[in-house]
Structures are given as structure tokens and as C-alpha cells.
Amino acid sequence: MRLVPGLRKARSCSNHTGILSGHASEPHGKFRVELIVNGFAVDTTEIIADGKWKDITFTYPVTHSSWIALRIYPSSHTNPVFVIVDGKPIDERKSAEWCRQAVDQCWKMKQANIRPEERTAAEAAYDEARKVYDKIIREASDQ
């Protein structure tokens, strides 16, 4: 498959080998660019950042459903691209734990700004998200 950061869809190949291509443009210096799969750097390359677009290509065997992003270490990263293999969900425990903690943090930061008449419905929505992530955590296969 060929994935370009910022796109929401990906084409899959029969052997589940993935190619993630992107462009990097940072002002001056040498930067490490990492391929991130389910939160872990699985490959790296270095680029000279001279203000010009650089083509970056990684080849990685995608063996199970995953999220993939590029990171210019340590400053920035792309949004993730979700790769579904054989119709199976992404069930990485650490990713689900991170998302569960993010829901709690988001609620903590936003709840005071939600109108009182909308707070009960908002809290119910956040509780539903918590339940979804708690279930994923319980059932994760730790691939």
C-alpha cells in the first residue's frame, strides 16, 4: 500500500507490505525522521533540512491492523493513517490505554466550559468513550 500523510484512505496489497511516503520541510539542520507504528519508532532516516521538500519513503511489513505516522523527532508528527488488515480492528493495548487517558484529560480540561444544561449529555458521551477504550484494553491481544 502507498500511504501519504493527510490522506484518509489507503490501498492494500496482498502481502501487507506498506510504503508510507511523505514530505518534510524544516528550516535548516539535520533531522531524524521516524516511521511510527502503533506508537513505536520502527524505522528512521535522516534528512538535511534546507527548506526544500524532501521525499521520504519507508517500507515496513504491516502484519496486523495498525496506525502509522511519520515523526520529525522530537518536534512534530503527521496525523495517523489507519491500516486495516484482513478486516480486523487495531487492538494494541498501549494505544487504547493512551486514548483512554486522553479521554479523561480532555474531559478534565473541557467540563467546566460545557453549559450546565448540556453537561449530563456530554458526560454520558465521555463515559461511553471510556467504556469503548476499557473494552479494547481488556480484549487486546498485545500483538
pLDDT tens digits along 65-117: 988 989 888 778 787 888 999 998 887 888 888 788 888 998 999 999 999 99
Number of domains within the chain: 2
Q: Residues 60, 19: one domain?
A: yes
First vs last Cα of the chain: how many Å apart?
A: 21
Q: Residues 114, 69: one domain?
A: no
The model's pTM = 0.57
Q: Residues 79, 106: one domain?
A: no
Residue 6 has what pLDDT? Answer: 38
Average pLDDT over every residue of 50-79: 87
3-class state of residue 80 by DSSP: coil
At residue 114, what is the residue type? I
Residue 2 has what pLDDT? Answer: 36
Q: How many CB atoms lie within 10 A of CB 114?
A: 15
* Whole-angstrom distance, CA of residue 60 vs CA of residue 35: 9
CATH number of the domain that residue 38 is part of: 2.60.40.10
Q: Residues 22, 61: one domain?
A: yes
- Higher pLDDT: 20 or 64? It is 64
3-class state of residue 111 by DSSP: helix
- pLDDT-derived band of residue 27, with 50, 70 and 90 as boundaries? low
Least confident of 1-5, 21-25, 108-112: 1-5
Examine residue 31 and state whether it is found in any structural domain, yes or no.
yes
Q: Residues 11, 68: one domain?
A: yes
Residue 75 has what pLDDT? Answer: 79
Domain with 8 in it: 2-83
Q: Residues 69, 10: one domain?
A: yes
